[in-house]
Amino acid sequence: MKVRKAVIPVAGLGTRFLPASKAIPKEMLTIVDRPTIQYIVEEVVSSGIEVIIFVTSAGKSAIENHFDYNFELDTLLRQKNKPEIYEEVRHISNLIDIIAVRQKKPLGLGHAIWSARNVVGDEPFLVLLGDDLVLSDQLPCCKQMLNLYEEVQDSIVATQRVPQEETGQYGIVEGEQVREGGHKVLRMVEKPAPGTTDSDLAIIGRYLLQPDIFPLLQQTTPGHGGEIQLTDALLAMSKKRPLYAYEFEGTRYDAGDKLGYLKAIVAFAQRHPSLGKQFRKHLKEVCASL
């Protein structure tokens, strides 16, 4: 079945980014000239997805507003004869159909995805975390996953290799290699202490899931950190049908973390069509002075 929908959970509290995220959703913090969430939505759009489902919470209305049509702004920009900005702003509201559902309590990523079950229905779907950016030289990360899905027709988690001392920051996959860049998942463990796993395959914020995940999420009890963990439901699913770990081409940035956010700005600014050249020159000067 074709993958038509993408779920983007944005209902988390963003405690790692306080105080900036107290009144502004962390997903709305700017990377060069657009909010983090816009890059994620653009990745989804360029991968051919038709509908986005935001899982939101109180205080996150700025995210929906950003992708909405704003009549007053539209009229003002036309009156002021600013065609480029006008086009840019219009483009954002025309990107894709967006549906929002509420996660009533921040009970974890697994619970956030479960909150979208009635809108997703009985079809495979993508999940992209609202603060996880991937820069790729070739295809968007989602499109790479969709291509693999066409072959395997089973759930996929995007992974990257991490240094052993960082395993405690990720969900780690243990599996057997079945193709280049592809493993069949045998075991998953949420944030294992360094040295307690042989694997360095870390799950990042992109998933392609079969709808069988919903009943498994419903049965999942709170795990690591007292939250309903997607990893626990995925592990249960991997016992019933194949689950693949895919080493995507590209670099991932955790823009929900202060250092990850800074790294993302440096990476995206260097590639920016109008600012990139000047920024790279500035960066060289900064590096030379260090």
Q: Which residues bind ligand UTP (CB under 6 A)?
A: 9-17, 55, 103, 106-109, 111-112, 129-131, 256
* Contact between 230 and 240 (Cβ < 8 Å): no
Question: In the bound complex, which residue of the shown chain has the CB atom lying closest to ligand UTP?
Answer: 12
* Rounded-to-integer distance, Cα 286 and Cα 277, Å: 14
190-213 as b/e: b if 16+ CB within 10 A = bebeeeebebbbbbbbbbbbbebb
* Rounded-to-integer distance, Cα 251 and Cα 171, Å: 17
CB 35 to ligand UTP: min, Å: 13
CB 256 to ligand UTP: min, Å: 4
* Phi, psi (rounded to 5 degrees) for 87: -65, -45
Compare residues 37 and 156 and give the one whose CB is closer to ligand UTP. Answer: 37
Helix (H) or strand (E) holding 30: strand 30-31
CB 141 to ligand UTP: min, Å: 16
Task: Tell me how many degrees the CA angle 196-198-204 measures, rounded to the nearest 5.
Answer: 90
From the list 83, 151, 144, 133, the residue with the least C-alpha distance to 262 is 133
CB 42 to ligand UTP: min, Å: 16
Compare residues 54 and 86 and give the one whose CB is closer to ligand UTP. Answer: 54
Compare residues 3 and 109 and give the one whose CB is closer to ligand UTP. Answer: 109
CB 115 to ligand UTP: min, Å: 8
Compare residues 8 and 216 and give the one whose CB is closer to ligand UTP. Answer: 8
Compare residues 111 and 143 and give the one whose CB is closer to ligand UTP. Answer: 111
CB 182 to ligand UTP: min, Å: 24
Compare residues 175 and 256 and give the one whose CB is closer to ligand UTP. Answer: 256
Both ends of the chain: CA-CA distance in Å? 53
